[in-house]
Amino acid sequence: MGVLLAGQVDAARFVMSPVLLNLNPAQGLTTSTTVTNTDTDEAAFTAEVVAWTQRDGQEVLVPTRDAVVSPGSFTVAAGRSQVVRVALRQTPTSASVTYRLILRQKVTAAPSGAAGATGATITPRYVFSLPLFVERSAAKPQISVTLSPAGAPRALVLRNSGDGYGVFRNIRVTAGGQAFDLGAQYVLSGVTMQVPLPAEAQNAATLEFTATDRDQKPVRLMVDAK
C-alpha cells in the first residue's frame, strides 16, 4: 500500500527510498525520499503533496498548501537518482496529520522517427503515492477489530480510536480451516475502515485474524460473529 502503480507495469523501473515518510514536528518540518531510475531511458516527473483522509470507508485526497515540494518537476537520467524534499509550512496543531506525496511520470512525446510514430504523446505509465505521516512522538493508534452485522456482505471492521495512524499488513483470516489473504489496510486516527470478507468466510461463527502492525509486530486475534 505504500506505493501505488498506475498503468502498464512490465518491470521495476524506479525505486523510491523510503516509500513511507515519517515526520516528527518536534524535530523538524522537512523530510525526503530518493527516486532512482533503474531504466535505460531518462524519465521526467512532477511532484505534489495532497492532504489524505479517510471518509465513509473511502480514501480521500485533496489539494493542500500545507507543504512545499522541491523540486516540483524533475528529470532523472538512466541509472541516476533525485532527492525529493517535502517541507511543511507550519507546525500542525493536532497530534497526527496525514498526507501523500504523489509522483507522476510526465507525458512525453513519441521519439522522432519511431516506428508508427504519428506525433501522438505517450501517457504516463507510473504514478507513485507515498504516505507522509506527521505525528507527535506520543501519538499512537488504538484499533479494535470486529465483524460487521449479519444480513449484508460481511467485513472486518477496523476502528481506530487513537490519535496516531494505524496499519495492518499481511492481513489473513482463517475460518473453517481455510485461510484467506486480505492484503493491507491503513486506518487513520479517528477513522473506521472495512475489509470485505471472501464468500467462503461470510457465515463463519469465529475468525482468526492475523497481521503485522505499524511497528512490524505480529497481531493475532479471535473475532467472534455477533
Q: Domain boundary at 73, 106, 135, which?
A: 135
- 151 shares a domain with 109: no
Q: Domain boundary at 113, 135, 157, which?
A: 135
Average pLDDT over all residues of the chain: 89
Domain around 24: 14-135
Whether pLDDT at 148 is above 60: yes
pLDDT digits (tens, 9 = 90+) for 156-206: 999 999 999 999 999 999 998 999 999 999 999 999 999 999 999 998 889
Whether pLDDT at 30 is above 80: yes
- Euclidean distance between CA atoms 129 and 65, whole angstroms: 18
The mean pLDDT value for 132-151 works out to 94
With respect to residue 111, please indicate whether it lies within any of the assigned structural domains: yes
Q: Domain boundary at 105, 135, 165, which?
A: 135
- The answer to whether 19 and 31 have CB atoms below 8 angstroms apart is no
- Euclidean distance between CA atoms 73 and 45, whole angstroms: 6
- Euclidean distance between CA atoms 78 and 181, whole angstroms: 37
With respect to residue 5, please indicate whether it lies within any of the assigned structural domains: no
Number of domains making up the chain:
2
